[in-house]
Amino acid sequence: MNRTFMFDALREATDEEMARDPHVFVIGEDVGHYGGSYKVTKGLHAKYGDLRVLDTPIAENSFTGMAIGAAMTGLRPIIEGMNMSFLLLAFNQISNNAGMLRYTSGGNFTIPIVIRGPGGVGRQLGAEHSQRLEAYFQAIPGLKIVACSTPYNAKGLLKAAIRDENPVIFFEHVLLYNLQEDLPDIEYLLPLNKAEMVREGKDVTILTYSRMRHYVIQAVDVLVSEGYDPEIIDLISLKPLDITTISDSIRKTHNVIIVEECMKTAGIGAELIAQINEYAFNDLDSPVVRLSSQDIPTPYNGKLEEATVIHPDDIIKAVKKMIQIVS
């Protein structure tokens, strides 16, 4: 076991897959000589050279299109978005090409591409660098969407994403890169379509992902000390949602709280509620509660920024209120 930062876990996954398969390459802004804005590609340029670790101009639409074309010819690109918000500039390439070409070509082309990078509300990064794009990409057919939350799942999921034959949008939270965890010395991969049961319980199912996993754990530690017994599920796969694991949990707890950093309107929580109502409505004892960020551009001011997102105290209050209502 090795104590590893999350950014190093992602670097190790990339390095191992590049060593394993010469078709894998990295492309993006400052990924080469600089080693990536958050050092996920540090040292890879010296090891693999210019043709496999490509520094690009500030031209997201262009280099994303180039990477999609490379994937069509049999290569396996990893695009690093310096900040995932910048990939809005490549939205046309991601939606009209990455997501569609396998289908519109009648299966003649596969698009084995990973689009990864930091996102979420950081610490005073401003509105344009604090976006949560998972909801933007949720409606695009043909994409898989994954949100890692720990060094362990970051490494296993990224390796699996690189080997997948479909385009994978891989979200990392900007505030989780310095998390540390002991990782196995042996190789491992994790499924891209499965949620993780973080904690089993019987009172209420809490569905969450990315940074909010850690806020939920903080809240649940307090709740358990007061006699409550919540179940925690880290969604990990945002598309497709692991509705089987979610439904099994609801059958046990009969209550659901969604905790997300995404915006409330048309966010991941909204799709979760729709699917829960479709597949598990009869097992609910109470309406699903959604704890989401406010529907406003994230303020630069630190205190205002903090006020836009959910915190452990909000989760504690929501759990107590729900259990009080159903008791």
Rounded distance, CA 132 to CA 262, Å? 6
To the query of whether residue 261 is one of the catalytic residues in this protein, the response is: no
To the query of whether residue 33 is one of the catalytic residues in this protein, the response is: no
- 72, 101 Cβ separation under 8 angstroms: yes
CB atoms within 10 A of CB 265: 11
Question: For the chain, percent helix, then strand, then coil, each to nearest 5?
Answer: 40, 20, 40
133 closest CA partner among 163, 165, 171: 171
List C-alpha distances in Å: 315 to 51, 157, 165, 249: 48, 27, 38, 18
3-class SS of residue 172: strand
Stated length of the chain:
327
3-class SS of residue 17: helix
Residues contacting 82, CB < 8 A, separation 6+:
28, 29, 30, 37, 117
Catalytic residue among 12, 17, 60, 172: 60
List C-alpha distances in Å: 234 to 5, 17, 270: 20, 25, 16
Residues contacting 31, CB < 8 A, separation 6+:
41, 44, 45, 53, 54, 55, 80
3-class SS of residue 309: coil
CB atoms within 10 A of CB 244: 12
3-class SS of residue 13: helix
Catalytic residue among 29, 45, 80, 129: 129
Give the residue numbers marked as catalytic: 60, 129
